[in-house]
Homo-oligomer: A and B are copies of this chain.
Amino acid sequence: MSSTSAPQPSTPAPGPGRAPAPGPGRAPARRLPGGPVLQDSVTEAIAEAFFEELAAVGYARLSLEAVAKRAGAGKAAIYRRWASKLEMTVDLVSAFAVADSGPADTGTLRGDVLAFVTEVADALNQRLPARIIPDLLAEAGRTPELAEALLTNVRDARRSRAAQLLERAVARGELPADVDREIALDLLAGPLYWRLAVVHTPTAPDYLDRLTDKLLAAFRA
């Protein structure tokens, strides 16, 4: 197995993700003496197998046995790290989702918007995220713990970036100060998510350009 498009573990040191697991002392995040960032190879293999399996069968059907098998590990290796499937999911998804956060200040509103939708499109055009994200979001509707983790780690991060994008445009005078931020945020994320993650319709090469033009017109209305 190779580290393909697997998530970057990144192990945030002060991360709030690590759950306490009130049971008998479960080993918390391990660190190899040499590197504070890289986790050990077993954890890495388990994480990669987890995301592959999650994309293949979905959260509800995901079997930790299958994850262990795909990772070439024993189930005990998983239970040594996490207390349950839910805890494992929250932990791994949080670590992975926090990763990317480019500032993307291109100097113009149009450049910022295009960069934003391009980034969203790139993410949703990848095999694993395109399958995993809708599945987890659907599952979150039923599992408050998962919903909380997703909202704080994924939505809030992305939402704040989109909000900053708007504020920069207001500061530049490209948008009126009373721009409808609530709707603008929905417009930035919704159409692309709908098209790529829900209906799975491919986008023409100039789609993002055209979409950007429409979004700008909507923001200014």
Chain A: residues with CB nearer than 8 A to chain B? Answer: 56-58, 60-61, 130-131, 134-135, 137-139, 141-142, 147, 151, 155, 180, 182-183, 186-187, 189-195, 198-200, 204, 207, 210-211, 213-221
Contacts and interface: CB of A to CB of B under 8 A. Distances in A.
A141 B137 contact: no
5 contacts: A58-B142, A180-B210, A183-B211, A187-B187, A190-B190
Given A60-B60, A142-B57, A191-B187, A221 B217 contact: yes
Interface centre among A61, A134, A191 (most CB of B within 10 A): A191
A137 B139 contact: no
B135 A131 contact: no
Contacts of A130: 141
A87 to B, nearest CB: 19
A131 B140 CA distance: 10
Given A180-B210, A182-B207, 13 more contacts: A58-B60, A60-B60, A134-B138, A151-B199, A183-B214, A186-B195, A186-B211, A187-B187, A187-B214, A213-B221, A214-B221, A216-B221, A217-B217
A139 B214 CA distance: 31
A186 B134 CA distance: 17
Contact of A131 (B142, B180, B194, B213): B142
A175 to B, nearest CB: 13
B218 A220 contact: no
A183 B187 contact: no
Contacts of A204: 182
A55 to B, nearest CB: 9
A132 to B, nearest CB: 9
Contacts of A151: 199
Contacts of A216: 221
The 9 lowest CB-CB distance pairs between A and B, nearest first, are A217-B221, A190-B194, A190-B191, A60-B60, A190-B190, A214-B218, A186-B191, A134-B138, A218-B218
